[in-house]
Amino acid sequence: MNLAHTSLRQLAAALRAKTLSSRELAQSYLDRIARMDPQLNSFITLDAPRTLAAADAADVRIAQGDTGPLTGIPIAHKDIFCANGWLTTCGSKMLSNFVAPYDAHVIEQFHAAGSPLLGKTNMDEFAMGSSNETSYFGPVKNPWDLAAVPGGSSGGSAAAVAARLTPAATGTDTGGSIRQPASLCGISGIKPTYGRVSRYGMIAYASSLDQGGVLAPSAEDLALVLNTMVGFDARDSTCLERPAEDFTAGLDKPLAGLRIGLPREYFSDGVSADVANAIEAALKEYERLGATRVDISLPNTKLSVPVYYVLAPAEASSNLSRFDGVRYGYRAKDYGDLTDLYERSRAEGFGPEVKRRILTGTYVLSKGYYDAYYLQAQRVRRLILDDFQQAFTRCDVIMGPSSPTVAFNIGEKTSDPIQMYLSDIFTISVNLAGLPGLSIPVGFGAQQRPVGLQLIGDYFSEAHLLNIAHQYQQATDWHAQSPALAKA
């Protein structure tokens, strides 16, 4: 059995049958990481003794017959999730010395499931970025082409999954940070409905948009991991209490009669021809599976980026005020009075993109500008949400590209923040509306770099989105392809 290229379901079966131990599995991934990650930089922190101790504990559980679908399966977590005793940096110098004293709810859920923590993955600083280039720990390389970015902000998680350095990984998505890197790295990724995954212990960027989710090779893998991740937690006041749901239960339903909404704004000039071709081929495949196309419009799409870059920085400026050099994290060495301590610690601890957003956010919230920017953006946010509600009266799912282009080169967009911001044009409105979204690989574009198809559903339609993705993956094998580097 080639462990790195085995699905979660098959790994779980081998563990249950005791033809494989959790220790063996964890060790094999740690060996791959040691061998390949120096090229990719997808992990910030590894702690092999801790991972193997957790694997041993999982083996004891398996021996006692106490197993669930993820028991014994190691999973990597984005370094935005606090994990007790683990360095938790959020990609920032500000937290480069922060060892979390508690577990995020998400991490607790994986512990309870018996899934060993494989390592903490690299990310854009405080999840602000689309290329993983704002990380204090250096850029991550795209396993399909080391000259290309993996996307961001969950770039480490996406690259690690694409290179098969972990069976799956967690991520977070505030404006596209799961779907865009999944797309650029040729893997699957899901951002659930806002409120399905607890934000407790997930370092805050823009709280009304942040949502945890999963990256993995296939939709079936996503469903298995999502089963563990979703759950009510009273410590996050926006976490929703819903009846338990098995996201794998409906995967096999046929798609006959499915109405796919195609927003005209998602098939416009901004989309490169290679991406458009791969998306068209995927839509044809869906027609073969019994789906029909419906033309729809999401007229406020072009406003989503400006609205996001008012609201997200506003929330970030408030959330990041807790990093003051006093309570935890980085503290400047030489300082005079208390104000000087704050100023120097923040000046030295935050990178340029984070500072840009704190400044923007503080500005849009300031007296005299609040109505013109912040309140106005909130109103447009409502219009964007209404567009989707209107669309879902005519279709069951919305499809389009996850990203307007394939992965760009490292360094290509770093000097032009606006160009960088536009790479999330198709993902951001989904966060503004709080809807679930999924990206699956559907082919290759320029320079053999992957193309991702985005599926957007109505609230709480995760199971249906996963079913729609799974049916496509039963009929095609894009999700099973991995970069040459991963075959070594």
Can you give the binding site for ligand GLN, defined by CB under 6 A? 127-130, 153, 173-177, 205, 312, 424
What H or E segment, with its residue span, contains residue 223?
Answer: helix 219-229
* Candidates 42, 177, 198, 439; catalytic one: 177
Q: For residue 18, with 0-12 CB atoms within 10 Å meaning exposed, 13-18 middle and 19 or more buried, which class applies?
A: exposed
Q: Give least dist CB 176 to ligand GLN, A.
A: 5
- CA–CA gap between residue 161 and residue 154 (Å, rounded): 11
Instruction: Select from 415, 482, 473, 368 the least CA-distant residue to 9.
Output: 473
Rounded Cα gap, residues 316 and 125, in angstroms: 12
Residues β-bridged to residue 190:
214, 438
**What does the longest C-alpha to C-alpha distance in the chain come to?**
70
Q: Minimum distance between the CB of residue 145 and ligand GLN, rounded to whole angstroms?
A: 20
Is 366 an annotated catalytic residue? no
Q: How far is the CB of 185 from ligand GLN (least distance, A)?
A: 15
Nearer Cβ to ligand GLN (43/205): 205
Q: Which one of 22, 42, 130, 153 is the catalytic residue?
A: 153
Q: Which stretches of 146-209 are DSSP H helices?
A: 155-162, 179-184
28 is catalytic: no
Q: Is 318 a catalytic residue?
A: no
The CA distance from 393 to 222, in Å, is 27
Closest of 93, 176, 88 to residue 352, by C-alpha: 93
**The one catalytic residue among 42, 78, 115, 429:** 78
Closest to ligand GLN by CB, 125 or 396: 125
CB 380 within 8 A of CB 386: no
Q: Closest approach of Cβ 373 to ligand GLN, in Å?
A: 17
Q: Which is nearer to ligand GLN, 59 or 124 (CB)?
A: 124
Instruction: Work out how close the CB of 206 gets to ligand GLN at its nearest, in angstroms, rounded to a whole number.
Output: 8
Instruction: Using the minimum distance from each CB to ligand GLN, give the nearer residue, 312 or 384.
Output: 312
Nearest distance from residue 313's CB to ligand GLN, in Å? Answer: 9
Cβ density class 345-365: b for 16+ within 10 Å, e for less: bbeebbbebbeebbebbbbbb
**Distance between CA atoms of residues 59 and 115, nearest Å:** 11
| Burial label, 415 (beta-carbon count in 10 A; 0-12, 13-18, 19+) | exposed
Between 173 and 462, whose beta carbon lies closer to ligand GLN?
173
Residue closer to ligand GLN, measured from CB, 4 or 190 = 190
| Strand order through the sheet with 43-45 | 43-45, 117-121, 75-78, 169-172, 212-216, 188-191, 437-444, 450-456, 397-401, 259-263, 292-296
Q: Which residues participate in catalysis according to the annotation?
A: 78, 153, 177
